[in-house]
Amino acid sequence: MNTIFRRWFRKHKTRLERRLQKRTGGSPARPVLSDHTLHYEVADQTRAIPCGGIGLVHQLVGRIGLVGDMDDAVHVLKTHLPYHESDHVLTLAYNALCGGTCRQDIDRLRNDAAVLDALGATRIPDPTTAGDFGRRFHDKDARSRLDAFDRTRRRVWAEQPDAFFDLAVVDADGTIVETAGRSKQGPDITYDGRWGDHPLVLTLANTGEVLSLVNRPGNRPSHEGAAGERTRAATQCLEAGFRKVLFRGDTDFSQTACLDGWNAIAGLRFVFGYDAKPNLVARAEELPAAAWQRLTRPARYAAATATRQKPADVGTGIVRDREYETLRLQSEDVAEFAYPPTACAREYRMVVVRKTIARTKGQRALFDETRYFFDLTNEREWTPAEIVFSANDRCHQENLIAPLKGGVRALSAPTDTLASNWVCMVMTALAWSLKAWWALMLPDTTGRWQDRHRDEKRQVLGWEFRTFVTAFVSLPCQVVTSGRRRILRVLSWNPHPAIFFRLVDRLRQ
C-alpha cells in the first residue's frame, strides 16, 4: 500500500471521526436531517460509476483463469458474434454483484459507458440475449459449468496457507424454489403443497463456496442424488490437498447404504443426524448412569463491554397468563454406543443427546419430558460433545442458502425448463463464489500486521452478500482514460478501503 493512499485514508478517517464526535451545546432548534436546497447539474467531462469495485472483481476473474475455464468447458454458441460463453456467464454474475435482482437490470450496466470502460468491454449482452442463452442448455452443460468452476476453485485453494487444508467440511441440504409459472417444464408439487423446484445445494463450510448445485422437481426428496454429489465433492477436496473431509447432514441425508464406502476412503469422515427410532431410544434408556456426561454449551458470544441486563420477557408472561403449554429445556446429557446400521457391514459411533424438558401450563408444573437426539459418525478422535457441536454447526448452512435466494437471487426459476433453470442457478451462484474467492485471494502477510490481516480475511469470508457488495463493489469511482490505461479513482471513504487496496496490490503484482 503506497504512501499516498495511507495519507488519504488517515485524512478522511480523521475528518469523519471529528464530524461524528462533534457536539453542539443545548438542544438544537432544527432536526439533524434538515431541509436544504440542492442544485443538480450535468457533468460533461467527468464520468463516474456507483460500482467501482466491479473492476477489481473483473481483474480477479482474469487472475484466477476463470474465463478460460468456462470457454473450454462449454461450447453452446456455434459462432461468437461477438459474445463468448464466458461473457454471458460473467454478465449474470456481475449483475448480481452490482445490485441487480433480475435480468432486466442488466440494461443498467449495458447502457452505462463508464461501467463498460471499467470492464474493458465494448458492450455486454442485453437481457433478451442473456435469456436466450440460458434456454440453450441441457443437464450435461450444467455439469460442465460445475467442472469449470472446480478447476478455478483449485487454483484459488492452491494459494492458501497450509493450515487451510487441515479439514474440509461439506454440508448438504435441499431448498424449495417456488414459482408461479404453470407452463414451465420441471416444477412439481412440493411436500407442503407449493409449486416449484427443489434444488440440492452442497457448500464448503470453511469458505461458504457452492461446491455443487443440482436442480430437481419439487416433489423429489431432499437426499435424492446427494450421495453422488458428496462423493464428487470429496474427490475434489482430497485431490486439491485437504487432509480430511467431513460430511455433515440432517436425518434425511444419513444414507446408510453409502457409509461403508465412504468409511473406506482415507481421510473421509461423516456426522449425520439419525432418526430417533424405538430401538435406538431403547438402547439409550438402557445405558448406565455412568455413561452420561453433562453437555455444557459454550457461550454464543463474549461481551466486549459490561454485560447488559436483559429486558423483560413479555412473551413468556402472555403465554403464562393465557395458560398455554410451555416447553423449557432444563438440562442436556450426552453419551455414545456402538451401532451397526441395517445396510452397513460394520459398527459406527452413535452419539446420543438426552434433553430433559420441563412442561408447564400457566403457572402449573406438569411433568418432565425426555427426548433423545442421535448422530451417527465414524470420527474416532473427537469427544461426544465435539461431535454434537459439529452436527449443530451444520445449521449455519441456512445462512448460506438464504443469501443465495434473497441477495444473489441465484435460486430462482426464470426460464422454461428444469435443465435451463439449473444452468441459470449455477451461473448466477458464481457471484457468491466470487465473493469467497475475493476474500481468499487477500494476501497473508507476515510481521506485525499478520494477525490483523488474517482476522480481516476471516471476517470478509463470513460477511453477508449485501455487506460485501456495499463495502467492496458499491464504491463510487471516477473513470479516467489516460493513454493506454484505465484508472478508477475512489471518490468516497468508508472503513474498508484498506482491505480493498491490499487485494489491488496483490493482483497488480
The answer to whether residue 478 is domain-embedded is yes
Q: Which three cell numbers, joined as nine digits, stand for 103?
A: 435480468
CA dist 354 → 293, 312, 370, 377, 457 (Å): 10, 30, 7, 17, 38
| 3 state DSSP class of 336 | strand
- Going along 215-318, which residue ranges are E strands? 245-249, 268-274, 293-294
- The arithmetic mean of pLDDT across residues 67-82, rounded, is 86
Q: Give residue-wise pLDDT tens across range 366-376.
A: 888 999 999 99
Distance separating alpha carbons of residues 335 and 286, to the nearest angstrom: 11
pLDDT of residue 261 exceeding 60: yes
pLDDT of residue 1 exceeding 70: no
- The arithmetic mean of pLDDT across residues 470-480, rounded, is 91
CA dist 106 → 92, 95, 320 (Å): 8, 6, 53
Structural domain of residue 439, as residue ranges?
44-138+414-508
Q: Which three cell numbers, joined as nine digits, stand for 137?
A: 442448455
Distance separating alpha carbons of residues 294 and 354, to the nearest angstrom: 9
Distance separating alpha carbons of residues 105 and 110, to the nearest angstrom: 9
The DSSP bridge partners found for residue 170 are 204, 247
The answer to whether residue 434 is domain-embedded is yes
Q: Give residue-wise pLDDT tens across range 47-71.
A: 889 999 999 999 999 999 999 999 8
pLDDT at 404: 93
Please report how many Cα atoms fall inside a 13 Å half-sphere around the Cα of residue 489, on the Cβ side.
11
Around Cβ 64, how many Cβ atoms within 10 Å?
22
pLDDT at 24: 64
The answer to whether residue 461 is domain-embedded is yes
Global pTM value: 0.89
| 3 state DSSP class of 254 | coil
Q: How far, rounded to the nearest angstrom, does the alpha carbon of residue 460 sit from its chain's CA centroid?
A: 11
Q: Give residue-wise pLDDT tens across range 421-440.
A: 999 999 999 999 999 999 99
Q: Running DSSP on this structure, what letter comes out for residue 129? A: H
Please report how many Cα atoms fall inside a 13 Å half-sphere around the Cα of residue 376, on the Cβ side.
25
Please report how many Cα atoms fall inside a 13 Å half-sphere around the Cα of residue 76, on the Cβ side.
26
DSSP-assigned letters across all residues of 436-450:
HHHHHTS----STTH
Least confident span in 67-81, 203-217, 402-416: 67-81
Q: Give residue-wise pLDDT tens across range 277-296.
A: 999 999 999 999 999 999 99
Residue written as cell 441486563?
309
Question: Strand 364-377 vs strand 268-274: parallel, antiparallel, or unpaired?
Answer: antiparallel
- The arithmetic mean of pLDDT across residues 85-105, rounded, is 92
The answer to whether residue 144 is domain-embedded is no
pLDDT at 45: 72
CA dist 33 → 23, 26, 36, 473, 492 (Å): 16, 17, 9, 27, 20
The answer to whether residue 441 is domain-embedded is yes
The answer to whether residue 322 is domain-embedded is no
414 within 8 A of 128, measured Cβ to Cβ: no
| 3 state DSSP class of 258 | helix
- The arithmetic mean of pLDDT across residues 347-362, rounded, is 92
Contacts of 425 (CB under 8 A, 6+ apart): 199, 213, 215, 410, 411, 412
Least confident span in 47-61, 75-89, 345-359, 399-413: 75-89
Alpha-carbon torsion 72, 77, 80, 86, what sign? negative
Q: What is the dihedral of CA 115, 117, 119, 125, to 10 degrees?
A: 70
- Which residue, among 425, 429, 372, 424, has the nearest Cα to 400 in the 3D structure? 429
Residue written as cell 407442503?
192
Distance separating alpha carbons of residues 270 and 254, to the nearest angstrom: 9
- Which residue, among 256, 190, 207, has the nearest Cα to 227 in the 3D structure? 256
The answer to whether residue 67 is domain-embedded is yes
- Total tally of structural domains belonging to the chain: 1
The answer to whether residue 467 is domain-embedded is yes
